[in-house]
């Protein structure tokens, strides 16, 4: 079971599957876009699986894409044609999804929607905590505890604080 999107074939579960396939095996795929969403990569993978690994593929929602049937020239031609059309549709749909996603993000940002985790507010005495830490009156653990943040956040906010001081 592969839970990653089919944007490419650099998927651990897919690689594991391909590594276990042996000549004569039958690979069931629910839909061609579950195999992949890149036109050329789908074509290449299909060729690799059927010609090099010598396995059969059955795409459940497209009976024409069943390599067990029609192994003659006409059957191969029809399967290749259908594969090309569906590969194109899969890649086109992926590109449309990405475009709509980018448009949605841009619209949300224009409305002022904030993305990511909310920023931790600096405590009122952050400057004093930093000075005490720099003078080694308190250690880093005490400093982050007083500021209610992690060390990474403390150091990042310290850089921001120092860059604000310079302005």
Predicted confidence pLDDT, tens digits, the chain (167 residues): 666 665 677 888 888 988 999 999 999 988 888 888 788 888 888 888 888 899 998 989 888 888 888 777 777 788 888 888 888 888 898 899 999 999 999 999 999 998 888 877 889 999 999 999 999 999 999 999 999 999 999 999 999 888 887 76
Q: What is the DSSP letter of 138?
A: S
Pick the CATH number of 12-110 from 3.40.640.10, 3.40.50.1860, 3.40.50.1390, 3.40.50.12780: 3.40.50.1390
Cβ neighbors of 39 (< 8 A, separation 6 or more) are 84, 87, 88, 90, 91
Helix count and strand count (H, E) for the chain: 7, 2
């Amino acid at each position: 079971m592969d839970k990653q999107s089919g944007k490419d074939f650099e998927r651990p579960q897919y690689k594991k599957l391909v590594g276990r396939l042996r000549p004569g095996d039958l690979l069931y795929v629910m839909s061609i876009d579950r195999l992949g969403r890149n036109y050329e990569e789908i074509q290449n993978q299909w060729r690799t699986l059927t010609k090099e690994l010598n396995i059969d593929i059955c795409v459940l929602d497209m009976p024409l894409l069943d390599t067990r049937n029609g192994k003659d020239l006409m059957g191969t031609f029809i399967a290749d044609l259908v594969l090309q059309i569906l590969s194109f549709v899969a890649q086109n749909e992926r590109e449309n999804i990405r475009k709509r996603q980018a448009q949605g993000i841009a619209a949300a940002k224009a409305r002022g929607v904030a993305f990511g985790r909310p920023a931790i507010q600096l405590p009122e005495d952050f400057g004093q905590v930093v000075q005490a830490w720099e003078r080694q009156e308190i250690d880093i653990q005490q400093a982050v505890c007083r500021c209610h943040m992690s060390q990474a956040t403390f150091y990042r906010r310290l850089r921001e604080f120092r860059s604000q001081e310079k302005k």
